[in-house]
Structure 1
Amino acid sequence: MTLDPTPGDHFASALLAGDRPGALACAREALARGVDHLYEDVVQPALVRLGDLWMRNEITIAEQHVATALAQSVLGALYPEFPGRRPGRGRSSPASRASTTSSARAWSPTC
């Protein structure tokens, strides 16, 4: 039995391949289901996978850093599309949004 790849798997694969359009499409599709889905079901698992690959020496630290930077770039590009965001108001970044969302659920990126 094989499991179907998750949205987080697709996002991680696009990040590792340096496929910004693919990563953006995956993230945009997830965002259509909500910000929580984007962060909890796509971004978090993808970044955990990248960390695991690096810890197992399957990717270099440089590859991990490039993939993570691409994730940040994709989230930054999508930020204007986040629901409830008022244009020109506030300086919240996608990273601080993730922190706020995660803190509300007592999620820790180190677990």
Structure 2
Amino acid sequence: MQYEIINQGQCTILQINEERFDAKMAPSFRREVENLVGNIGEHMILDLTHVRFMDSSGLGAIMAVYKILKGKKISVVNPQRPVQELLKLTRMDKLITSYDSIEDAVATAV
């Protein structure tokens, strides 16, 4: 999995630099987040700008991270239309807020 981590105040931004978030990538995503859990701020922001496709495995990995973070806020930034529709269809948009920009997401952590 190709990604970049940016710490910005209380926020940890995980920018996923892959076009597909699927069964091939989901296990490595989960492992990476589990390895980072002690260094994640109070708000984890998943930057999905580059993700054009997500399947149920990617969705499951995000839900696993939601549970791993236990009480920390998690949100997504710039989900592309197919990803946004999947979040709505599965009602995950009720648990994980979507923002149009990293700045908007970071502003909610203050």
**TM-score category by the smaller chain?**
0.3 to 0.5
TM-score normalised by L of structure 1: 0.39
Q: Flag the structure with higher strand content.
A: 2
Query: Which structure's CA Rg is the greater one?
Result: 1
